[in-house]
Chains A and B, each alone.
Chain A
Amino acid sequence: MKILVFVKRVPDTESKIRISNETGKIIEEGLNFVLNPYDEHAVEEAIRLREAKGGTVTVVSIGTEEAMIILKKCLAMGADKAVLVKDEAPESYDGLRTAKIIARAVEKKFPDHTLLLFGKQSVGADNSQVPSMVAELLGLPQVNVVTKLEMEGNQGVAHREIEGALEKVEFSLPAVISAQKGLNEPRYETLKGIMMAKKKEIPVISFEELELKAEEVASGLEITKMESPPQKQTGKIIEEEPAEAAKKMVEFLHKEAKVI
């Protein structure tokens, strides 16, 4: 099975995100960038499938040269190959734009790859759009937010998380799957893996090579404002005997907030 995994470089979840007063955009300086946490589960699942069934794992990121660091990490985890599709544009928050680039890259460069794995969303844009859009553009079935995946030849069974339940979904390859936390426990890179990853070359693909025209990679979104949420006023914090404190809290919830 030839597997493609799509990965994104994002600020880690402990980051405090600030907006520049001058540009109105996110201040990237000082942020710690990592492999998107959900993508880690996707990479892990791909490696496990290859270990069990054979095949190859190729990791692809769309972005600037700075994404090389997460591609190296994926190689160190055990991916066979990594490729960067170079995109110098700033974050557009437009899932369709990314999906178009990915769909074209698959058609042009990886037409024989049958399993397309993603994280269920990137932490940051929080769109949860790209996997479904890629599936549509390529005419493939999709199973998103997957916590269990079993493959037998070209047939697969996945558990998809929905509100308070799981959907058991049957599908056949080629297909798009997006990973949710709980799918697996991502491995750490080994020292040997890191050394091997250092030696591997990461090819860079340009938009020209993919014959992507400017209008195809234009953003469909017009951003009018970016801002931090208003600071919440601090409420009432009390330090009293448990019985008294509990009484006051419930009184607040009942009489003031009227939520109980």
Chain B
Amino acid sequence: MILVFIEVREGKIKKFSLEALSEAKRRAEDLKTEVAAVLIGHNVENLASEVFPFGASKVYVLENSLLRNYSAAGYAHALHSLAEEIKPVAILFSASSLGKDFAPRLAAKLGVSVASDCTKTACRDGKLEVSRPIFAGKIFITLTLRSSPQIVTLRPNVFPLMEPGAKEGEMVKKEVVIPEDQVKAQVVEILKEEGAEIDVTEAEIVVSGGRGMKGPENFDLLRELTSLLPQSAVGSSRSAVDAGWIGHQHQVGQTGKTVSPDLYMAIGISGAIQHLAGMSSSKYIVAVNKDREASIFKVADFGIVGDLFQVIPYLKEEVKKVLSE
């Protein structure tokens, strides 16, 4: 069996968990095995039915009031017991903030290694074979894990959702006992960032600005664009962050975030190698830059050589036109 951890935030299942489930289903067919999902938390039982259409024939629900807020130790304790009992061949996570925090903790508890942030999976000799970027995508490495269960985290926004199928499956509720002393770090509050409902790693469209933006106030031009486009977020290059024009949480690149949206718009970004590393897996890339020789044009599907301050207002108008059609 392949077990897939389903992430819940604010009472909703994250889309990238369904992507992981869909990918698990594709591999399970090759390996001739089943897929099960696991939900962890408090009052998450009502979400169980949502995973069946995406390939899970079974869903485990691990509930305890101590698991209301995420804690790596608490979650690992709960999932460890289940994994020891049902012995899955692999456990898949999304390489989200939570998945990257949780999967290695569980793996160390099970005494096994992890393949992080994978962008491709296949089967080889009855095992998973995965590919993942290293050096933020300058190099790709393909590997298998020697021990079982094979623990793999999958990059969000890379794996396609399957056509929703079966609406029903089996639900197994498990009593979880969490010793209070297991949870020594507690989330006490979630502080929302103002005006950043969608993170660059989750956005379908990222509009990024670089040194060419000339100042913090001009990022409003990009914000005007993202306000028009659904599921979009403002990103930036490192130089714009280092200059203090925008917060580091927007930074895309090797010391920032790695993104793979459907569309990446690079505005006034020259395309330093450490920036390209963080966004070149985007499905489509467009760029506006006044320097014809800028490296960003080497990875762009469509580029405009020109002054961004002249081009952006027209881009906005054209986007409005298309969206109103």
Please report A residues at the B interface, Cβ cutoff 8 Å: 11, 13-17, 19, 26, 37-38, 93-97, 99, 123-130, 132-137, 140-145, 159-172, 175, 180-182, 219-229, 232, 234-240, 242-243, 245-254, 257, 259-260
Task: Report whether A245 and B304 are in contact in the complex, using a CB–CB cutoff of 8 Å.
Answer: yes
On chain B, the residues within 8 Å of A144 by CB distance are 100-101
| Partner pick for A168 among B188, B199, B306, CB 8 A cutoff | B188
On chain A, the residues within 8 Å of B285 by CB distance are 235
How many Å lie between the Cα of A260 and that of B112 in the bound state? 43
On chain B, the residues within 8 Å of A257 by CB distance are 263, 283-284, 301
How many Å lie between the Cα of A127 and that of B199 in the bound state? 20
On chain A, the residues within 8 Å of B255 by CB distance are 13, 37-38, 123, 181
On chain B, the residues within 8 Å of A37 by CB distance are 255
Cβ of B280 to closest chain A Cβ, rounded Å: 7
Other than the given A167-B187, A168-B188, 10 more pairs (CB < 8 A) read A95-B114, A129-B104, A160-B187, A220-B112, A221-B144, A235-B301, A240-B304, A246-B304, A246-B315, A259-B205
Task: Report whether B184 and A242 are in contact in the complex, using a CB–CB cutoff of 8 Å.
Answer: no
**Which B-chain residue is minimally distant from A257 (CB atoms)?**
B284
**Which A-chain residue is minimally distant from B264 (CB atoms)?**
A259
Task: Report whether A96 and B112 are in contact in the complex, using a CB–CB cutoff of 8 Å.
Answer: yes
Task: Report whether B142 and A16 are in contact in the complex, using a CB–CB cutoff of 8 Å.
Answer: no
Q: For chain B, what secondary structure do more than half of its interface residues adopt (helix, strand, loop), or is it mixed?
A: mixed
How many Å lie between the Cα of A167 and that of B188 in the bound state? 8
8 Å CB contacts to A: which residues of B147-188?
A: 147, 184-188
Task: Report whether A225 and B142 are in contact in the complex, using a CB–CB cutoff of 8 Å.
Answer: yes
Task: Report whether B191 and A246 are in contact in the complex, using a CB–CB cutoff of 8 Å.
Answer: no
Cβ of A18 to closest chain B Cβ, rounded Å: 9
| Partner pick for A169 among B137, B185, B310, B322, CB 8 A cutoff | B185
Stretch from B23-31, B51-59, B82-90, B127-135 contacting the other chain:
B127-135
Cβ of A129 to closest chain B Cβ, rounded Å: 4
| Partner pick for A171 among B113, B185, B189, B321, CB 8 A cutoff | B185
Interface check B43, CB cutoff 8 A: no
Task: Report whether A246 and B317 are in contact in the complex, using a CB–CB cutoff of 8 Å.
Answer: yes
Task: Report whether B185 and A239 are in contact in the complex, using a CB–CB cutoff of 8 Å.
Answer: no
On chain B, the residues within 8 Å of A253 by CB distance are 263, 284, 286, 302, 322
Cβ of B229 to closest chain A Cβ, rounded Å: 7
Known: A129-B104, A170-B188, A221-B145. A239 touches B305 (CB 8 A): yes
8 Å CB contacts to A: which residues of B273-325?
A: 273-274, 277, 280, 283-286, 292, 297-307, 310-311, 314-315, 317-319, 321-323
Task: Report whether B100 and A246 are in contact in the complex, using a CB–CB cutoff of 8 Å.
Answer: no
How many Å lie between the Cα of A77 and that of B123 in the bound state? 48
